[in-house]
Amino acid sequence: MRDSNHASNLDLFFTSVSSTTVSSMDSIETESFSNSQLIVMTLLMLLGGEVFTSMLGLQFQNIRIKKELEIANQMPQVLELTTSHDPIPDLQNQIEMGTMNAKLFDIPQTPTNYLKQNSVRYLSFLVLGYHIVVHFTGYTSILIYLNLFPSAKAVLVGKGINLQTFSLFTVVSSFANCGFVPTNENMIVFKGNSGLLLVVAAQVLLGNTMFASALRFVIWVLKKVTKRQEFEYMLRYHEDIGYDHLLPGSYALSVAVCVASFILVQFVLFCSMEWWSEGLEGLGSYQKLVAGLFMSVNSRHAGESVVDLSVVASAVLVLYVVMMYLPPYTCFLPMEERHKVANDTSEGNKKKTSVWRWQNFLLSQLSYLAIFVILVCITERRQLKEDPLNFNVLNIVIEVISAYGNVGFSTGYSCKRRLQHDGVCKDAWTGFSGRWSAEGKVVLMVVMFFGRLKKFSLNGGKAWKLS
């Protein structure tokens, strides 16, 4: 590290967890890391990104389908060998009695099954290609921008940050919706570079909230261009593919509309409340509009920022808390469409509900978040009493919800807001959690993991009835 004087082992582990869970909750200034350490963090963010992990799921799905087809190919030989002993009636009786699974004796040697296997394989290559193209385009665009605009390049040169490392690190972090940036100030130092902000915002959208809609659009275009049956199968039988990001047409369209609507609501509120604020001082009208758009895009899951959240209006912060809590594919569906989407996956849901009985004992997501906030308030009770302007419940809620949503927004910590000035406190470009106790940081790491794996507990709390 460039400066390892204040980096404890816990802080280093905290940063590693934050990178792996793409949360960007920082307790160490990012400029303290050497170039090689930034590369390692880039790799962690790449491996922890939602699109990359979903590709692994597709590979497992492809292997499973191959095994099913191999078993299906062997079944005719098994049945032919057993005809002389006439075991079929006995097998039929066992199937009817429920002691044997009838699915094992299906012989799905039809073109549809091979089409399904090819479709999954094509989808694997398609997602990989999407991943590579978006990253390469983003990396090239950022690098070109830095070389064309001396003001942005001068910032990195003055800080001793390699241009290639910055471009790669930023594009991977943005696409994975992690939110880490090699500069201590995050994107605040680039708030006047509107072109760079737009490139990064596009990466944020394509890597998370708009990924499913963009993926379905790409598949639709490829179907029109290539006329391949595999792409037609993906669009019509998306539930058979078993890929969470391959949504029905109406659902994908609704997600895109809702993403745009959420951005618009945040954009209007941010501009109306912050247009003349200190954070946007010195910017032109166009630059302020782009800054507002950038903040609105990042509030859902990325967490990159061009303003200090500690001076942002409370109304905007509350809206950001709501946005950080929402899952990436939150949308509005009319009731008839909702029933249609639910029926598409009814069989899989029935199997899951019959297996996961323990889900009856799960709490809702809000209940867990309330518990985590209470735990942090307990671990930081001394600071809440002695330093109430920094350590208040709103700031703790923002930090916990940000960690749960794997966003990374933080109000930070300011020595100027302390009631008791001891002359020892020194401001640092770290998140608010960087000033927490060791116990509080451990709780927040649990929240980051819980948020990264929240899709496995989203159905919790349904067994509880409030009346």
User: What is residue 290's predicted lDDT score, i.e. its pLDDT?
Assistant: 96
State the Cα–Cα distance between residues 222 and 228, nearest whole angstrom.
Answer: 8
For residue 186, pLDDT over 50 is answered with yes
To 10 degrees, what angle do helices 211-226 and 229-236 make? Answer: 140
User: What is residue 76's predicted lDDT score, i.e. its pLDDT?
Assistant: 54
307 Cβ contact list (under 8 Å, min separation 6): 188, 191, 274, 277, 279, 280, 291, 295
The answer to whether 209 and 263 have CB atoms below 8 angstroms apart is no
Average pLDDT over residues 304-321: 92
| pLDDT tens-digit map of 67-106 | 877 776 666 554 444 444 444 445 444 444 454 444 444 4
In the block, residue with structure tokens 């954009």: 267
Q: Cα 195–199–202 angle (5° rounding)?
A: 135
pTM of full prediction above 0.85 = no
User: What is residue 71's predicted lDDT score, i.e. its pLDDT?
Assistant: 75
User: What is residue 69's predicted lDDT score, i.e. its pLDDT?
Assistant: 73
285 versus 87: which is more confidently predicted? 285
Average pLDDT over residues 281-289: 93
State the Cα–Cα distance between residues 148 and 303, nearest whole angstrom.
Answer: 26
Residue 141: closest CA among 85, 216, 200: 200
What are the distances in angstroms from CA 93 to CA 71, 99, 191?
22, 9, 73
| pLDDT tens-digit map of 238-277 | 888 888 899 998 899 999 999 999 999 999 999 999 999 8
The answer to whether 314 and 392 have CB atoms below 8 angstroms apart is no
Least confident of 44-58, 345-359, 375-389, 445-459: 345-359
In the block, residue with structure tokens 């204040």: 6
Residue 33: closest CA among 46, 47, 18, 48: 18
